[in-house]
Amino acid sequence: MDPVNVREFEALARERLDPVHYDYFAGAAQDEITVRANESAFVRLALVPRVLRGAAAPALDVTLLGADASMPIVLSPTAFHRLAHPDAERATARAAAAAGTIMIAAMLSTVAIEDIAAEAGKVAADPTLWFQLYVQPDLGFTEAIVRRAEAAGCRALVVTVDSPALGRHERNDRNAFHDLPAGMRCENLRELRGGEPGSVRQVVLSPEISWRHLDRLREITPLPIVLKGALHPLDARLAVERGIDALLVSNHGGRQLDTMPATIDQLPFVAEAVEGRVPLLLDGGVRRGTDVVKALALGARAVAVGRPVLWGLAADGEAGVTRVLEMLRAETAHTLTLCGCDGPSAVTRDLVREVRCCH
Ligand SMILES: Cc1cc2nc3c(=O)[nH]c(=O)nc-3n(C[C@H](O)[C@H](O)[C@H](O)COP(=O)(O)O)c2cc1C
Ligand SMILES: O=C(O)C(=O)c1ccccc1
């Protein structure tokens, strides 16, 4: 049976995936408290709609760092799409470009960034790709990969800062899953020195990465910089002071520090700290159009989705990703209509209220 919502896509993906790879995608750090919190926090927020506003049918498009997106939903960077489907990031890139939205391509992709960009270019005249970076202590490599992303046409750098060490995933430990299967590589890592070219083991997640590295990035590239994974309001403020262009409020889908707050619970604190000076995006647990509208109400310009895209990809390649994106688009439009809003910018803080109940 065809899935009718994102959760049913997860069930289908689970049937189709090697259980070890399903665990890699679904899993999170330690007790997996944060990954569960991301979804359950949305349940504790109620939407309080306005009525009789005579609103026009909603238009969903938004502008993000100068790029137009057809809806306030973009694709979070996720590693290793080839584990989900042989078409891998090529399929994801086509689906995102055809949907008119932004794909944040992961540095740890199993298709090279140049090939991802070429694929997106086949289905849209002007697709928007952003490139996610783990700053490497090998600054020569970091600069080289930034140049590759620029040359491939990426329009922003999304620098992930929640990973001074790799999160401990007990599912992966139990399954002894610590590397890509033979024949799959991280195609962007070919130039990284040390170890086998393209092996994920070459990637260094280092606690020594600091604001100085961000300053250096600022010097070497004209691309806008999005900070992904700063949750503390003091860091959000520092980011604005340092000239960061946008924040992606994220706890890495619960895969790094377990017991971080749900992103939707933390968003108001980050929004208060940045005072509207930079746009905010949010990811973590977005599974419904109602979740999208709640995030907009609490201060996000747009949301990003990680696992839902992987479920679509695993279930049915490009067509599956397309279905997932279109479901979320339709649900968001429907939710806006039911809230009396004619678009994302009409969503105000007062439409959301915290409730005690648990459904
Ligand atoms: C399988 C998987 C791989 C991921 N790989 C990366 C990555 O390489 N870089 C990164 O910044 N975030 C990565 N993330 C985190 C996502 O960008 C995103 O923050 C998270 O998945 C959002 O939560 P959601 O899955 O509930 O939508 C990954 C997440 C998953 C599930
Ligand atoms: O799985 C992840 O979430 C991720 O970001 C990652 C980080 C290092 C190696 C492989 C994946």
Q: What tokens does 85 get?
A: 């489907």
Tens digits of residue pLDDT in 32-90: 999 999 999 999 999 999 999 999 999 999 999 999 999 999 999 999 999 999 999 99
d(CA 263, CA 248): 10
Distance 306 CA to ligand 1 centre (A): 5
Tens digits of residue pLDDT in 238-260: 999 999 999 999 999 999 999 99
The answer to whether position 357 is within a domain reads no
The answer to whether position 308 is within a domain reads yes
Give the 3-state secondary structure of residue 154: coil
The answer to whether position 69 is within a domain reads yes
Judge whether 334 counts as a catalytic residue.
Answer: no
Q: Which band of pLDDT confidence, cut at 50, 70 and 90, is reported for residue 359?
A: low
pLDDT of residue 358: 59
164 Cβ neighbours under 8 A, 6+ residues apart: 205, 206, 207, 209
The answer to whether position 163 is within a domain reads yes
- Say yes or no: CB of residue 203 within 6 Å of ligand 2: yes
- Say yes or no: CB of residue 79 within 6 Å of ligand 2: yes
d(CA 314, CA 316): 6
Distance 336 CA to ligand 1 centre (A): 27
Give the 3-state secondary structure of residue 214: helix
Tens digits of residue pLDDT in 213-229: 999 999 999 999 999 99
The answer to whether position 356 is within a domain reads no
Domain count, the chain: 1
The answer to whether position 70 is within a domain reads yes
State the pTM of this model: 0.98
**Residues 123-127, mean pLDDT to the nearest whole number:** 97
The answer to whether position 80 is within a domain reads yes
pLDDT of residue 88: 98
The answer to whether position 358 is within a domain reads no
Distance 10 CA to ligand 1 centre (A): 15
Distance 51 CA to ligand 1 centre (A): 37
d(CA 172, CA 21): 9
Interface ipTM: 0.99
Which residues have CB under 6 Å of ligand 1? 25, 38, 76-79, 106, 108, 132, 160, 228, 250, 252-253, 255, 283-286, 305-307
Residue 33 sits in a domain of what CATH number? 3.20.20.70
Query: Domain residues for 242?
Result: 6-349
Residue of 169, 252, 334, 359 marked catalytic: 252
CA torsion sign, 350 to 352 to 357 to 359?
positive
